[in-house]
Structure 1
Amino acid sequence: MNCKHISFIVALLFCTTGLFAQLGIKMGLNMANEVRSFNRADVSAGFKSDNLTGYQIGLVYQAMPKKSGLGFEIAALISQKGSTFSDSTGIVGIIKQGYKEMNYVEVPLNLRYRLSLGVMGVYAFGGVYGGYSYSGKVVDEKTNTTQKETFPTTDDRIDYGYNFGGGLEIFRKIQLGATWSRGLKDTSKTNIGLPVSTKATNKVMSFNLVYLF
């Protein structure tokens, strides 16, 4: 399902009478990782990337017809992504040790389905997101130095992709869930000391708490 299909369904939901809508606060923990591919197989085999723990916080708006479990949500989030890296080849001066941190303003747009189980419920969702990086840095832990991420053009700050997830809802107020998101944009602009070009896309597993007013 592409962005046009999601927008069309959301527009239909807006026109539905008896819409039940809630605004809430969303906060969570990101387990972020960049997926990298290298031009030289021997270098890529020696590059090891693990999860980077970050955060996610912002506002979320959820709406659905009162007589239906199908609805939508849109959010405005501050989301921290990135990756750690380490030298496992022993090639001095080629691969370093440290981490890359990127901070995004992110707007996800999702279709949701909720199944009511009395005071509790379960939900699932899926959709697309767009993000804008307002800052970033690369930290070299071997030399204890920090390099500020640079963005030659506005396009270099953009990230976009898809996400899906689900969770448990209590009293239609508290939601405990997990989200998997995968970027489609190449976000690799810092070469972290490698003498070869790289390609990177964001993938993030988030565990979050939503409180609805």
Structure 2
Amino acid sequence: MKSKKTLLISAIFVLSMLSMPAFSQIRFGVKAGVELDNPTFGEAFKVENMTSYYVGPALEAMFPFAVVDFGLETALLYSDNRMTVTNLTGETESKDVSNRYITLPVNAKVKVPLGSETFKIYGVAGPYAAYLISGDKIDFQSMGDDIKAKSFEAGINLGLGFELFRMVQLGANYRVKLTDNYATDKPQWDDPLNGKSQTWSISAAVFF
């Protein structure tokens, strides 16, 4: 009897998962953005000209309700983070450093129409993970050991924006890093290398 109940529950669950796409709106698209980061400064380093952009395919699965649409948004983004590092202790030369990541954000998403289906506002929230695919070492002589970027980054995304013509989405995103980009045991180098743990970015996406 117990096995029959378990089988019935499993069958209902599988059927509900199979029927879910019929009631959802699944769309594919392309997403891109630019981060707006204000670097910190330390006694040993000056970090400036920090730029970061990302681009890649995106997927949106929305489930329409009476007033709002609720669903998920995910993407597979190529991210390129660049900065200029100047050593203030013993050397005056500058080095350009670039780290490239594959980033996977998974966000819950809510969309609310404003008077018309052609104009909506949306909000997103969720975790992200980033994996380093290539990066430059920082190897000033006065540092001693080379400092390399960490291979993994994780954090939380929050965002707000608007959708036009059911296709174009423009938004502002707030990212909180829960990990450091660089590992170093020197406190005067840690803060400027890792920058701020909170960053803002502006993004644009087109869904089809």
Q: Give the match for residue 184 of structure 1.
A: 178
- Residues 33 and 196 of structure 1, relative CA distance in 2, 3 Å threshold: same
- Residues 205 and 197 of structure 1, relative CA distance in 2, 3 Å threshold: closer
Counterpart-to-counterpart distance in 1, 2:96 and 2:173 = 23
Amino acid at match of 1:174: V
Could you tell me whether the CA contact under 8 Å between 2:85 and 2:95 is conserved in 1?
yes
Counterpart-to-counterpart distance in 1, 2:199 and 2:49 = 9
Q: Give the match for residue 66 of structure 1.
A: 64
Task: Tell me how far 1:97 sits from its aligned partner.
Answer: 2.9
Highest Rg: 1 or 2? 2
Q: Give the match for residue 85 of structure 1.
A: 85
Residues 115-143 of structure 1 show CA distances to partners (whole Å, capped at 9, x for unaligned) of 11211111111110011110112579x9x
- Residues 96 and 76 of structure 1, relative CA distance in 2, 3 Å threshold: same
Q: Give the match for residue 94 of structure 2.
A: 97
Q: Is 1:106 matched with 2:103?
A: yes
Q: Mapping of 1:97-136 within 5 angstroms? A: 97-117=94-114, 118=116, 119-136=118-135
Greater mean deviation of Cα atoms: 203-212 or 106-115 = 203-212
Question: What value does the CA root-mean-square deviation take over the aligned residues?
Answer: 3.5
Counterpart-to-counterpart distance in 1, 2:86 and 2:165 = 45
- 2:167 aligned to which of 166, 169, 173: 173
Could you tell me whether the CA contact under 8 Å between 2:124 and 2:160 is conserved in 1?
yes
TM-score w.r.t. length of structure 2 = 0.70
Task: Tell me how far 1:46 sits from its aligned partner.
Answer: 5.5
Residues 79-135 of structure 1 show CA distances to partners (whole Å, capped at 9, x for unaligned) of 122543335x5x432x75334321100100001111112111111111100111101
Task: Tell me how far 1:49 sits from its aligned partner.
Answer: 3.0
Task: Tell me how far 1:195 sits from its aligned partner.
Answer: 10
- Residues 109 and 34 of structure 1, relative CA distance in 2, 3 Å threshold: farther
Higher strand share: 1
Higher helix share: 2
Q: Is 1:211 matched with 2:203?
A: no
Could you tell me whether the CA contact under 8 Å between 1:81 and 1:204 is conserved in 2?
no
Q: Give the match for residue 198 of structure 1.
A: 190
Amino acid at match of 2:177: G
Could you tell me whether the CA contact under 8 Å between 2:45 and 2:189 is conserved in 1?
no
Residues 52-99 of structure 1 show CA distances to partners (whole Å, capped at 9, x for unaligned) of 123211011111212242211111100122543335x5x432x75334
Could you tell me whether the CA contact under 8 Å between 2:44 and 2:188 is conserved in 1?
no
**Partner secondary structure for residue 198 of structure 1:** helix
Contiguous gaps of at least 5 residues in structure 1: 1-10, 37-43, 143-147
**Partner secondary structure for residue 136 of structure 2:** strand
Amino acid at match of 1:58: G
Counterpart-to-counterpart distance in 1, 2:100 and 2:39 = 14
Task: Tell me how far 1:33 sits from its aligned partner.
Answer: 6.1
TM-score w.r.t. length of structure 1 = 0.69
**What is the number of residues matched between the two proteins?**
180
Q: Mapping of 1:152-167 within 5 angstroms? A: 156-167=150-161
Q: Give the match for residue 52 of structure 2.
A: 54
Counterpart-to-counterpart distance in 2, 1:205 and 1:51 = 15
